[in-house]
């Protein structure tokens, strides 16, 4: 598929052919860049990201329960995702699991308040949706239910405001096209995080979060925005896999080889994570000293070379051998490498424009409902 990659400069984002993966990691508390990869699934052309993610999360949670990592009565599992995931839909698909969904929403979203009670003597069908709550229009916000003012180490003063019982207005289109009956009302809590500065020096933009639970107390709102900031630890894991362990270095020709290589790197990363308290810190002269429990993945990998010879290996000593003769010169290759066409995601209901009919231009600034 064509995968979106981020460039370093302005407007340097390009699309490159590759195999996209959906990765689930466990986050830890504290200031570090470690994560625990739990599962990785390759997305096929035409797959729905929300459906694949729901099946993946369900499988991971079932394995955690069977392994005894979660018991009835324990706190619910907090699922934190970025804006590329449909949070209300994930919460609806995973409603039978002990999961709390916390996702970031685009800043142009428009949600709805609860429908008001019908007035006495009103005829007709009662309203299902209340007034609009537009993220880009402060006049529609009203007074927040919870307000928190705090100071963070990296971002400076932070203002957190939360509004209870907001839901998107769903329609029988795209993901909900085959839904029978009335569409559900997926209420949640909207949290707006505004900070004063960013570590990179860029102008900070407000972050909008959607929490799948309603009537949150002050402590849960304070925990939600901090948990979302911990989500950025997964970016350090991807950087480690790509730049240090060489996830994208080999030019693999088949998706099966990509799956094997991905799981091999996740296994190697897990070995480094398990060796966090066993390796010594081989720091560079310009690096600051750190305690053993605060070493980064790259510094653990640097000291792993002294630990590996002391570990037992289940493999035997390799026997000396010579390379084979290979294919004789002049003989053609009768088993060419497989070729995979690059698929682009297009709308199945897209119609080709007719040259005989005049088409009406679309609205240059569409408003995204729901």
HEC readout, 84-115:
CCCHHHHHHHCCCCCEEEEEEECCCCEEECCC
The 8 Å CB, 24+ separation contacts for 331-339 are: 337/253, 338/253, 338/254
Determine the pLDDT at residue 32.
81
- Classify 199 in phi/psi space as left (phi over 0), alpha (psi -120 to 50) or beta: alpha
What are 12's two structure tokens?
A: 């340097």
pLDDT, position 365: 46
pLDDT classification of 10: cutoffs 50, 70, 90: low
pTM of the model: 0.83
CB 89 within 8 A of CB 370: no
Instruction: Assess contact for 211 and 188: CB atoms under 8 A.
Output: yes
Greater confidence (202 vs 171) lies with 171
| Number of domains into which the chain is organized | 1
Residue 261 lies in a domain: no
Please count the helices (runs of H) and the strands (runs of E) in the chain. 6, 12
Residue 211 burial (10 A CB sphere; 0-12, 13-18, 19+): buried
Residue at 135 is within a domain: yes
Residue 82 belongs to some domain of the structure: yes
Inside any domain, residue 93 = yes
Nearest to 342 by CA among 90, 80, 2: 2
| CA pair distance 354, 352, nearest whole angstrom | 6
CA–CA separation, 359 and 231 (whole Å)? 44
Q: Which domain holds residue 64?
A: 37-116+128-232
According to DSSP, the β-strands at 156-166 and 35-42 are: unpaired
Higher pLDDT, 27 or 339: 27
Residue range 72-114, pLDDT digits in tens: 999 999 999 998 899 999 999 999 999 999 999 999 999 999 9
| Residue 182 belongs to some domain of the structure | yes
Residue 355 lies in a domain: no
pLDDT tops 70 at residue 360: no
Q: Would you say residue 284 lies in a domain? A: no
């Amino acid at each position: 598929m064509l995968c979106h990659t981020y460039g370093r400069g302005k407007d340097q984002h390009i699309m490159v052919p590759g195999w996209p993966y959906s990765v689930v990691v466990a986050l830890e508390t504290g200031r570090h860049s470690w994560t625990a990869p739990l599962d990785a699934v390759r997305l096929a052309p035409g797959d729905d990201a929300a459906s694949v993610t729901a099946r993946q999360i369900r499988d991971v949670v079932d394995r955690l329960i069977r392994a005894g990592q979660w018991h009835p009565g324990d706190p619910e599992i907090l699922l934190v995702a970025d804006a590329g995931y449909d949070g209300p839909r994930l919460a609806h698909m995973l409603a039978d699991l002990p999961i709390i969904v916390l996702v970031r929403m685009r800043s142009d979203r428009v949600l709805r308040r609860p429908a008001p009670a019908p007035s006495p003597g009103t005829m007709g069908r009662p309203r299902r949706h209340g007034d609009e709550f537009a993220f880009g229009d402060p006049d529609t916000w009203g007074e927040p239910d919870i307000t928190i003012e705090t100071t963070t180490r990296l971002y400076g003063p932070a203002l957190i405001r939360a509004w209870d019982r907001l839901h998107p207005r769903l329609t029988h289109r795209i993901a909900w096209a085959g839904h029978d009956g009335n569409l559900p009302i997926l209420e949640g809590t909207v949290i707006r995080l505004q900070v004063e500065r960013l570590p990179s020096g860029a102008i900070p933009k407000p972050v909008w979060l959607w929490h799948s639970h309603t009537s949150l107390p002050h402590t849960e709102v304070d925990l939600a925005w901090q948990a979302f900031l911990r989500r950025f630890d997964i970016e350090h894991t991807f950087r480690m896999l790509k730049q240090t362990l060489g996830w994208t270095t080999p030019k693999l020709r088949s998706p099966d080889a990509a799956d094997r290589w991905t799981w091999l790197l996740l296994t190697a990363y897990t070995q480094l994570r398990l060796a966090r308290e066993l390796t010594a810190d081989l720091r560079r002269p310009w690096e600051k000293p750190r305690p053993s429990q605060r070493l980064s993945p790259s510094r653990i990998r640097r000291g792993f070379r002294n630990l590996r010879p002391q570990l037992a290996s289940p493999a035997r000593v390799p026997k000396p051998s010579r390379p084979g003769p290979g294919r004789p010169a002049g003989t053609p290759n009768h088993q060419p490498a497989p070729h995979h066409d690059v698929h682009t995601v297009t709308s199945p209901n897209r119609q080709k424009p007719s040259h005989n009919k005049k088409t009406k231009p679309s609205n240059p600034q569409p408003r995204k409902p729901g």
